[in-house]
């Protein structure tokens, strides 16, 4: 994870992501504390499909001590409502194949498997399962 973080979250990389007009970041706050965040991608900022009729949820993270408090669901609901307001056809995302909790959560929210892609985490080849929800 350190190898991934040292590349994915460099100052230069984050500045590039934050300045991309086709990406949006949102923060979940509780008692003036950031407890989670989400990154949405549109158009060419999408990492896989780059479909003009789709929204990608690239990241939803909730701090561990706030799991089980519906924060992830609220972030996902916000993403779905954003997609609907922009009249997109579907929302898609990637989930690590061994993250059973997240896979179950997204399936419960109406997402279905639609593909996969590999990525490197340091020297370890990992697989993300791609999921989408039609709107």
Domain ranges of the chain: 21-134
Show pLDDT as tens, one digit a residue, over the chain (135 residues): 444 544 555 667 667 666 778 999 999 999 999 999 999 999 999 998 899 999 999 999 999 999 999 999 999 999 999 999 999 999 999 999 999 999 999 999 999 999 999 987 777 888 999 999 999
Determine the pLDDT at residue 6: 47
How far is 71 from 61, CA to CA, in rounded Å? 9
Q: Are 35 and 63 in contact (CB under 8 A)?
A: yes
- Which of these is catalytic: 26, 37, 61, 106? 106
**61 catalytic per annotation:** no
Q: Kindly report the number of other CB atoms within 10 A of residue 135's CB atom.
A: 17
Q: What local confidence, expressed as pLDDT, does residue 19 receive?
A: 72
Confidence (pLDDT) at 60: 95
Residues paired with residue 36 on neighbouring β-strands, in sequence order: 28, 62
* CB 26 within 8 Å of CB 40: yes
Task: Answer yes or no: are the C-beta atoms of 39 and 45 closer than 8 Å.
Answer: no
- What is the model's pLDDT at position 18? 66
Give pLDDT, residue 66.
95
In this prediction the pTM is 0.85
- Give the residues across from 120 on adjacent strands: 125
Architecture of the domain spanning 21-134 = 3-Layer(aba) Sandwich (3.40)
């Amino acid at each position: 994870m350190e190898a991934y973080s040292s590349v994915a979250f460099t100052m230069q990389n984050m500045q590039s992501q934050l300045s991309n007009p086709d990406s949006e970041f949102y923060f979940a706050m509780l008692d003036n504390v950031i407890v989670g965040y989400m990154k949405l991608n549109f158009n060419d900022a999408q990492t896989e499909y780059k479909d003009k009729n789709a929204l990608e949820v690239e990241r939803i993270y909730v701090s561990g001590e706030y799991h089980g408090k519906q924060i992830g669901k609220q972030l996902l609901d916000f993403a779905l409502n954003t997609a609907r307001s922009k009249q997109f056809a579907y929302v898609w995302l990637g989930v690590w194949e061994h993250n059973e909790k997240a896979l179950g959560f997204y399936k419960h929210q109406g997402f279905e498997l639609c593909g996969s892609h590999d990525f490197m985490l340091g020297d370890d080849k990992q697989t993300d399962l791609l999921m989408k929800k039609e709107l």
